[in-house]
């Protein structure tokens, strides 16, 4: 019976000694926010870039359905 108490005490002691998972790294993250706009409004037909993609200035990344704009000009 003594062995049962000793084993139970050992299990309790080992269960209470669990290490907490502390952060092992820290730092500051900075992000550049850029607003991308189009020259005309309309329904977006396609948009090719994915998140994190670096874009060059003037590069076409999507196609807008400008049917309403062309009808308004007529």
Q: Rounded to an integer, what distance in angstroms lies between the CA atom of residue 30 and that of residue 26? A: 13
pLDDT of residue 16: 67
User: Residue 2: its pLDDT value, please?
Assistant: 75
| Maximal CA-CA distance, the chain | 98
47: in domain? yes
Residues 31 and 51 sit within 8 Å (Cβ to Cβ):
no
Domain count, the chain: 1
Per-residue pLDDT of the chain (74 residues; tens, 9 = 90+): 778 888 888 887 777 656 666 667 778 888 888 777 777 778 888 988 888 888 888 888 888 887 766 666 66
Residue 54 lies in a domain: yes
**Domain contains 56:** yes
What are the tokens at 67? Answer: 């049917």
Residue 10 lies in a domain: no
Question: For residue 9, is it within any domain?
Answer: no
Q: Which domain holds residue 53?
A: 40-74
In a domain, 64, yes or no: yes
pLDDT at 69: 66
Strand partners, 47: 62
In a domain, 3, yes or no: no
């Amino acid at each position: 019976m003594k062995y049962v108490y000793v084993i139970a005490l050992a299990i309790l002691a080992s269960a209470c000694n669990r290490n907490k998972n502390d952060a092992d790294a820290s730092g500051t993250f900075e992000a550049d926010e850029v607003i991308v706009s189009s020259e005309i409004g309309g329904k977006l037909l396609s948009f090719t870039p994915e998140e994190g993609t670096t874009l060059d200035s003037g590069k076409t990344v999507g196609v807008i359905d400008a049917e309403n704009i062309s009808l308004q000009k007529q």
